[in-house]
Chains A and B, each alone.
Chain A
Amino acid sequence: MNRERFIRQRRADWQQLETLLTGMKNRRLSRWSGSDVTRLSGLYRSVCYDLSLVQSREWGARLEQYLNDLVAQGHNCLYRSPPRSIDTALKFLSHGFPQLLRKRKNFFFVSLALFAVPFLIAMIIATNDPVVAEQIIDKTQMEQAGESYSKDLYKDIDANYAEERTFMTGFYVWNNVGIAFRCFALGAFFGAGTVVTLLFNGIMLGAVCGYIINQGFSDNFFSFAISHGSFELTAIVISGAAGLLLGWGMIHPGELSRRESLRVHGIDAIKLASGAGAMLVIAALIEGYFSPMALPHSVKYVVGTMMWGLVFVYLVQGGRNASGTETTADGHRHEVSTAHSAEDSE
């Protein structure tokens, strides 16, 4: 076949594919009709063949470029990431996230140690000697914190309460989720950024905690903190685990190539981080509206303990009762999809 005859014969198909593509790209996936998809896949395959023919015969750069472009557009139209919905997001939070955390539990425990040990040390030191605490944290800041817990926060639930607490909820989302995401992202420096963030936050929180205990406001403080602390502290540790996982993928690829290892660990890490983000939003809501309520301390302790139990059960049992086989099948599928994302996208 010579070039001219080839072009003359095939041009109609190319134009057809082109119009089909421009039409389909602007339409939602659910609006695609069956016949269009059939036509698209048929035309796309034939243009793929045309492209390889032109490539092998070197029939001109412009023709090749044009067909290349058509194939690229068709490829992007046909091969997509699997459709995701609210349903998949909820399924992830209820099943995938706790499963994944259990799979990567070593990172969770390391992260926990990096956070809790400096926390406890700083707390013990600050409880016994507030002067040391003042060296760690600015004195006025410390006094402010102490003052805010020296009295009951609110007497009644009124308009003022709703207003102030909504503002604070917004603040908690902005601040805490931001810290968690940053803690994760800094893991990209071989995990160093995450380690620093965890240690830093552990020491700061421990020092504040110890100072408040030293000042004798511990009852006010712990009754306030126990409810949302369940979600909040766990989520910070999980985001730390995500950052460490990312760093580990860089430091220790194991049997994978470093590229492959980064990818496998990176996807797991971002999943952990997004789960932690969701937990922090829940924590912000509790901290905003429930924690400062004018309730007896005993009620808050009971509810707070229940929250801790809830978090524990969620992370330990979540996704497990959906029959053991499904869990492993899902886990296996996940392995495969990260290893060959081309298949995943089909």
Chain B
Amino acid sequence: MPDTLKVDTRVTVETPEGVDFQFMIAGPGKRGMSFIVDIMLKLGIIAACLLILSMMSALSFQVSGVGGGIFLVTWFAMSWLYGSCFEAFWNGQTPGKKYQNLRVVRTNGTPIGWFEAFGRNLLIVADGMLVLGPLALNTVGLLSMASTRRMQRLGDLVFDTMVIDEAREFISRAAGITHGVERLRRSECNGQFHVPERTLAVVERLFEGDRLISDGRREEIARTLSLALRSRLDFVEPGPDPLNPNTYFVQTPLKHTTFLKRVLKTFSDSPNGRAAQTEDDGDDASLEIIDETLHSMNVSDSGPESPADAGPAESAEGATLVTGADWQQPASGDGSTS
């Protein structure tokens, strides 16, 4: 795996426990955004300092020289110490980075120390050099980021740090799958608006890139699950768009695939990720092979309650949704429950 060409922005780090895990590297966009936020904050603090001091000197004449001194020291601190102090004390984050969910870490994944924080912030001077004229701000840093795998600017290279994106992206893989589809809207479904984790896992595995299934076959497989889910959610398929009816017929051949993508997108996005999902039901059905799974699966309803009360009550409640009747349903699949 380390030898394959990677086109995404992940960096694998090996822990002392011998496990590899991945960090997402932050690109120039997010870093630029946090840079701007930090600059605004610095300017704000300097302006506030100036305001307070001028108010004080208006009250009493004496402090103007002292006030000037304090102002210059504040300016100095903002321009040289702001980033380093925050990164040293806030475990690699400045307010701007916190806002963008970024963090500075060493390239081995460990948090940075004082000297690294200080050094990489001093080297902003070198990274911010103008090479091609006044418009080319931060040219050196951008060139350096473009040419290193971890998107490091000079300051990062020298002090062996990188900026990682800490945004909770449990769905980052699902986002690849569900790109370009909308979430299900609450108004489209008349039934309960909930899909168990196990079902989502099956849907996810159906779309996993390494399973080489043709679109047609996937649609065939998806149909089974899709119909069951449709009746469970009581999903009402919207009719052709009167303004642009052609798209309806273009999409119809992959209708069930699209629907499953939408389901995945809707229900896998919960902010707490997988942990917020419900526990599995007691069924020990093997899910090793997706076709088997889909044909034998019970899309059962287990509430988000504790495992204790998930036993007998659930099996009574859980209905087997994949029935012959479902197969006969009209393609539009409007609200009949099984």
Q: Is B334 an interface residue (CB 8 A)?
A: no
A4 B287 Cβ-Cβ under 8 A = yes
Size category, B interface: 35 or more
CB-CB under 8 A from A167, the residues of chain B are: 65-66, 68-69, 72
B198 A270 Cβ-Cβ under 8 A = no
The distance in angstroms between the C-alpha atoms of A84 and B116, with both chains bound, is 13
The distance in angstroms between the C-alpha atoms of A66 and B171, with both chains bound, is 9
1/0 per residue, CB under 8 A from A, across B144-181: the answer is 00000000001101111000000011111110000000
CB-CB under 8 A from A2, the residues of chain B are: 284, 286-288
CB-CB under 8 A from B105, the residues of chain A are: 76
A170 B72 Cβ-Cβ under 8 A = yes
CB-CB under 8 A from A65, the residues of chain B are: 169-170, 172-173
Give, as a whole number of angstroms, the nearest-CB distance from A287 to chain B.
13
CB-CB under 8 A from A249, the residues of chain B are: 158
Per the 8 Å Cβ criterion, residues 51-86 of A in contact with B are 51-52, 55, 58, 60-63, 65-66, 68-69, 71-72, 75-76, 79-82, 84
The distance in angstroms between the C-alpha atoms of A341 and B119, with both chains bound, is 16
Size category, A interface: 35 or more
The segment from B28-36, B200-208, B236-244, B321-329 that touches chain A is B200-208
User: Per DSSP, are chain A's interface residues mostly helix, strand or loop, or mixed?
Assistant: helix
B122 A341 Cβ-Cβ under 8 A = no
B65 A164 Cβ-Cβ under 8 A = yes
CB-CB under 8 A from B109, the residues of chain A are: 72, 75-76, 79
Q: Is B86 an interface residue (CB 8 A)?
A: no
Given A69-B170, A163-B62, A184-B122, CB of A62 within 8 Å of CB of B268: yes
Give, as a whole number of angstroms, the nearest-CB distance from B222 to chain A.
17
Per the 8 Å Cβ criterion, residues 87-119 of B in contact with A are 91, 103, 105-106, 108-116, 118-119
CB-CB under 8 A from A75, the residues of chain B are: 13, 15, 21, 109
Chain B residue nearest to A246 (CB atoms) is B158
B66 A81 Cβ-Cβ under 8 A = no
The segment from A129-137, A144-152, A185-193, A297-305 that touches chain B is A185-193
Chain A residue nearest to B174 (CB atoms) is A62
CB-CB under 8 A from B91, the residues of chain A are: 76, 80
A181 B80 Cβ-Cβ under 8 A = yes
Give, as a whole number of angstroms, the nearest-CB distance from A25 to chain B.
9
Chain B residue nearest to A89 (CB atoms) is B114
The distance in angstroms between the C-alpha atoms of A174 and B174, with both chains bound, is 51
Given A18-B275, A62-B170, A62-B174, CB of A4 within 8 Å of CB of B280: yes
CB-CB under 8 A from A58, the residues of chain B are: 210
The distance in angstroms between the C-alpha atoms of A98 and B225, with both chains bound, is 72
A170 B68 Cβ-Cβ under 8 A = yes
CB-CB under 8 A from B208, the residues of chain A are: 60-61
Q: Is B123 an interface residue (CB 8 A)?
A: yes
A270 B279 Cβ-Cβ under 8 A = no
CB-CB under 8 A from A103, the residues of chain B are: none
Given A11-B279, A186-B125, A341-B160, CB of A68 within 8 Å of CB of B22: yes
CB-CB under 8 A from A49, the residues of chain B are: 19
A60 B204 Cβ-Cβ under 8 A = yes
Chain B residue nearest to A188 (CB atoms) is B126
B66 A163 Cβ-Cβ under 8 A = yes
1/0 per residue, CB under 8 A from B, across A176-210: the answer is 01100110111011000100000000000000000
The distance in angstroms between the C-alpha atoms of A234 and B279, with both chains bound, is 67
The distance in angstroms between the C-alpha atoms of A341 and B107, with both chains bound, is 10
Partner of A173, one of B73, B103, B160: B73
CB-CB under 8 A from A218, the residues of chain B are: none
CB-CB under 8 A from B15, the residues of chain A are: 48, 71, 75, 79
A170 B274 Cβ-Cβ under 8 A = no
Q: Is B216 an interface residue (CB 8 A)?
A: no
The segment from A224-232, A259-267, A311-319, A320-328 that touches chain B is A259-267
Q: Is B273 an interface residue (CB 8 A)?
A: yes
Chain A residue nearest to B176 (CB atoms) is A61
Give, as a whole number of angstroms, the nearest-CB distance from B187 to chain A.
27
B274 A173 Cβ-Cβ under 8 A = no
B17 A48 Cβ-Cβ under 8 A = yes
Q: Is A273 an interface residue (CB 8 A)?
A: yes
| B interface residues (Cβ-Cβ under 8 A, vs A) | 13, 15-23, 62-66, 68-73, 75-76, 79-80, 91, 103, 105-106, 108-116, 118-119, 122-126, 129, 154-155, 157-160, 168-174, 198, 200-201, 204-205, 208, 210, 268, 273-275, 279-280, 284-288
A-B contact pairs, 13 of them (CB 8 A): A48-B15, A61-B208, A66-B170, A71-B21, A163-B63, A166-B68, A184-B122, A185-B123, A188-B123, A270-B116, A270-B119, A274-B115, A345-B106
Nearest first, the 9 A-B pairs at minimum CB distance are A170-B69, A163-B65, A270-B119, A170-B72, A266-B158, A185-B125, A188-B126, A345-B110, A61-B173
